[in-house]
């Protein structure tokens, strides 16, 4: 049997306890770093989620505006007569289309300053096309109204010419 060396045994226990405490501290630091990293990741994901929600809100707003524009364009096709009342209604609808289109352009300009998303380019092209369509529809309705008024003037002129011919001929 070996003699017990109390001094070496105490030193070995002390080394073991020191190493064990260092290991526990290292584990605690690792766990703390894990939780700090998880919290930071959660904050980043929350920010990303908010930006995606905001982007979805803007896309939904733009889509609803374009749907409203489409509805107004469809109601514009229902006008077939060229009288003043229909021309006034068409002008109101075209002004509504242009105001909705300007709101969409404002939203897009506001968002383009913050970040550039490829869908904004598509929306920008769509707003340009809506502007062209609205101006074409406006000019077509104006032309149709002018043609109708010229036709009425021509018929009135023809009628007055016929009346004058009848008076001159004595009929």
- pLDDT, position 16: 96
Q: Is the pTM of this model over 0.85?
A: no
Residue 152 is encoded by which pair of tokens? 């009425």
Residue 21 located in a structural domain:
yes
Q: Higher confidence at residue 73 or residue 17?
A: 17
Residue 151 located in a structural domain:
yes
Residue 93 located in a structural domain:
yes
Residue 1 located in a structural domain:
no
**pLDDT of 51 higher than 80:** yes
DSSP conformation class of 16: H
> Worst-scoring range by mean pLDDT, 42-46, 68-72, 80-84?
80-84
Contacts of 54 (CB under 8 A, 6+ apart): none
Residue 43 is encoded by which pair of tokens? 């904050």
Residue 145 located in a structural domain:
yes
Give the number of domains in the chain.
1
**pLDDT of 116 higher than 90:** no
Which residues form the domain of 155?
Answer: 6-169
Residue 82 is encoded by which pair of tokens? 């060229």
Residue 79 located in a structural domain:
yes
- How far lies 95's CA from each of 2, 21, 22, 42, 145, in Å? 106, 77, 76, 47, 17
pLDDT in tens, 7-23: 888 999 999 999 999 99
**Helix residue ranges per DSSP H, 77-117:** 84-114
Q: SS3 for 83?
A: coil
Residue 32 is encoded by which pair of tokens? 């703390």
Residue 35 located in a structural domain:
yes
Residue 53 located in a structural domain:
yes
**pLDDT of 111 higher than 80:** no
């Amino acid at each position: 049997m070996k003699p017990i060396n109390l001094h070496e045994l105490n030193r070995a226990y002390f080394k073991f306890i020191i190493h064990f405490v260092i290991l526990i501290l290292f584990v605690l630091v690792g766990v703390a770093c894990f939780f700090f990293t998880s919290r930071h990741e959660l904050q980043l994901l929350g920010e990303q989620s908010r930006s995606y929600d905001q982007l979805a809100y803007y896309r939904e707003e733009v889509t609803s505006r374009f749907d409203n524009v489409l509805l107004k364009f469809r109601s514009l096709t229902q006008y077939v007569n060229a009288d003043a009342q229909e021309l006034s209604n068409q002008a109101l609808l075209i002004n509504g289309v242009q105001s909705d289109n300007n709101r969409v352009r404002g939203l897009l300009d506001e968002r383009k300053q913050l970040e550039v998303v490829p869908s904004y380019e598509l929306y920008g092209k769509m707003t340009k096309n809506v502007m062209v369509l609205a101006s074409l529809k406006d000019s077509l309705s104006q032309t149709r109204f002018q043609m109708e008024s010229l036709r009425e003037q021509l018929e009135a002129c023809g009628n007055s010419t016929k009346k004058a011919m009848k008076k001159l001929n004595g009929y």
